[in-house]
Structure 1
């Protein structure tokens, strides 16, 4: 049985990908990693990640193009903010029998592949507190009103940036059937904040994979991992969650621009520059906000924090 990690990237996220790979390889020099190209502009990052971290490009690029074509054929061109996010679904058909998928706006603090051990008793794993915020950014209340899902089932919604499963557990037919069912009922989904693949993939998970496990429900609970949570404590380039008295497994800047002044910037900056053989990151100067914008962002962060508590 082979285990490995998938990421999705292009040249635009080179610095984020380097930070992620530095953090993975700090704890694990052996696990194979495959990059799924986000678009056609991926050759520079592919060369860098192969040279320094042994990352391979997904072999069947024709299938990825087919997947993208089928998505557009089913939904049209205006349905999603970032339709290329769906390319990550090529994970189901790649070389690994068991796999983790990890977004590039993440850094990890442990040998992250070991989380696949939870697949001994489940078919799909994830690790977040998305469900505590309700169904926002995934479903609309219509899914409950029409009894598409019940209250217990929607407790299993997840963030699509970190998850693991087994090869061919979802077939091509399953994937495209999920597309078709979702396209027929756009009223079931919440795209108000320009999420892309997350609502549809949650729909597929709840409909087609009954043996699922959220790692934060393990015995003794688990730490948070969203960079919008202000209570994590930094020590020796790691983070600690005092609410569960545990170190973080990983940190995810979901919905947050990674730049100087962002939450836990020093953590990201440390991992980005962990490999001295690579040039320093090209970091854009943050756009200055007026007092009104700062007030709005402060309220948004407070609301997000309430959802994660």
Structure 2
């Protein structure tokens, strides 16, 4: 069985509802979806999917513990991860729970597309499932242009572990990818841990723990990776990130120079922004109306109505504002 999966807890509730609605609208009501819990904070999500029989909240505790342990073992091999995490204010493991997306490798679907909670489906995914007949992992992004959020580029080991060709063509964003069940069994997981213990762990980028690890898992195991962004003809490929300002909205779908997007990724935007927007705060950001359409698709009467001037979500306070705030006058 094929399906779509995501990772979530109640902190990203509004985004999850928007994602579920986009999947339903684009692929149909019967499309099976599995939500992997980031942590135990999932009461709102559980209540919201009661009337969505096609959606399940993953509850295989053995599977989740298996991947929890794998992530801990992997990061315990890293020479400086703890130090970097502490400097960033993280106690223990940084963003622990993001790796729960790996549960898809022993989850309910034989083939799956994983989508981050801050994505929306915009188009058909047939080409991704079709390619899974020939490859282990199908991706569609441009992360290979910036490897610094995947691997430690300054590590001399990087080009010893992976060829320059693999680095140029196989690196991907962990927010959207297609893959298969049972790709990483116990033997394969242990083999990866042993490789990390030899010193290879230093190539991992600790501040994006799930992204660097899934890239390492795929690339080090020799899994075949196919990136549509590198292989589609120029007149067929599209962008996918909210940072691209040129997408056009038509009938609540996004187009990149007349080509329909497969998905839009609101990458780099805090879940707090979406929460505050849905609570009625007039925050503006690229493709906000698209998000609101999918979030309130089944409850348009609850969509916030704005009367004030919108405030950009990333607006930096100017010097006068900072001084006034510091003096307690603002």
**CA-CA distance at 1:199 after TM superposition:** 0.8
Pairing 1:95-106 to 2, within 5 Å after superposition: 95-106=108-119
Who is 1:18 aligned against?
17
Aligned 8 A contact 2:17 2:295 in 1: yes
Aligned 8 A contact 1:124 1:209 in 2: no
Pairing 1:107-146 to 2, within 5 Å after superposition: 107-112=120-125, 115-133=128-146, 135-141=147-153, 142=155, 146=159
Give the whole-Å Cα distance in 2 for the aligned partners of 1:277 and 1:240: 24
> Residue by residue, what CA displacement relative to the aligned partner does 1:169-221 show, whole Å, maximum 9, x if unpaired?
22133234434534644421233xx3121111111111113422112234324
Who is 2:298 aligned against?
275
Aligned 8 A contact 1:18 1:49 in 2: no
Matched, 1:170 2:184: yes
Who is 1:297 aligned against?
none
**CA-CA distance at 1:146 after TM superposition:** 4.9
Give the whole-Å Cα distance in 2 for the aligned partners of 1:291 and 1:113: 48
Pairing 1:19-58 to 2, within 5 Å after superposition: 19-28=18-27, 29-52=29-52, 54-58=54-58
Aligned 8 A contact 1:233 1:241 in 2: yes
> Residue by residue, what CA displacement relative to the aligned partner does 1:271-298 show, whole Å, maximum 9, x if unpaired?
11111189557x9x95863137xxxxxx
Who is 1:238 aligned against?
253
> Does the residue aligned with 1:16 lie in a helix, a strand or coil?
helix
**CA-CA distance at 1:45 after TM superposition:** 0.3
Give the whole-Å Cα distance in 2 for the aligned partners of 1:113 and 1:15: 27
Aligned 8 A contact 1:46 1:55 in 2: no
> Residue by residue, what CA displacement relative to the aligned partner does 1:205-246 show, whole Å, maximum 9, x if unpaired?
11113422112234324101011111212222111112xx41
> Does the residue aligned with 1:45 lie in a helix, a strand or coil?
helix
> Residue by residue, what CA displacement relative to the aligned partner does 1:84-137 show, whole Å, maximum 9, x if unpaired?
11111111111211111111100011233652111122121111011122x111
> Does the residue aligned with 1:35 lie in a helix, a strand or coil?
strand
Gaps of 5+ in 1: 293-309
Matched, 1:264 2:279: no
**CA-CA distance at 1:62 after TM superposition:** 2.5
Residues 210 and 67 (structure 1), Cα distance of their counterparts in 2 relative to 1, 3 Å cut: closer
Matched, 1:289 2:316: yes
Aligned 8 A contact 1:144 1:151 in 2: no
**CA-CA distance at 1:16 after TM superposition:** 0.4
Larger Rg: 2
Residues 255 and 74 (structure 1), Cα distance of their counterparts in 2 relative to 1, 3 Å cut: same
Aligned 8 A contact 2:23 2:31 in 1: no
Give the whole-Å Cα distance in 2 for the aligned partners of 1:279 and 1:53: 23
> Does the residue aligned with 1:83 lie in a helix, a strand or coil?
coil
Shifted more, 178-187 versus 249-258: the winner is 178-187
Residues 160 and 74 (structure 1), Cα distance of their counterparts in 2 relative to 1, 3 Å cut: closer
Residues 278 and 121 (structure 1), Cα distance of their counterparts in 2 relative to 1, 3 Å cut: farther
CA RMSD of aligned residues (A): 2.8
Q: What is the number of residues matched between the two proteins? A: 286
Gaps of 5+ in 2: 86-92, 275-282, 320-330
**CA-CA distance at 1:58 after TM superposition:** 1.7
Give the whole-Å Cα distance in 1 for the aligned partners of 2:49 and 2:263: 20
Give the whole-Å Cα distance in 2 for the aligned partners of 1:146 and 1:114: 32
- Superposed structure 1 runs of 4+ greater than 6 Å apart: none
> Does the residue aligned with 1:107 lie in a helix, a strand or coil?
strand
TM-score (norm: length of structure 1): 0.83
Give the whole-Å Cα distance in 1 for the aligned partners of 2:113 and 2:140: 11
Give the whole-Å Cα distance in 1 for the aligned partners of 2:300 and 2:127: 28
Aligned 8 A contact 1:97 1:166 in 2: yes
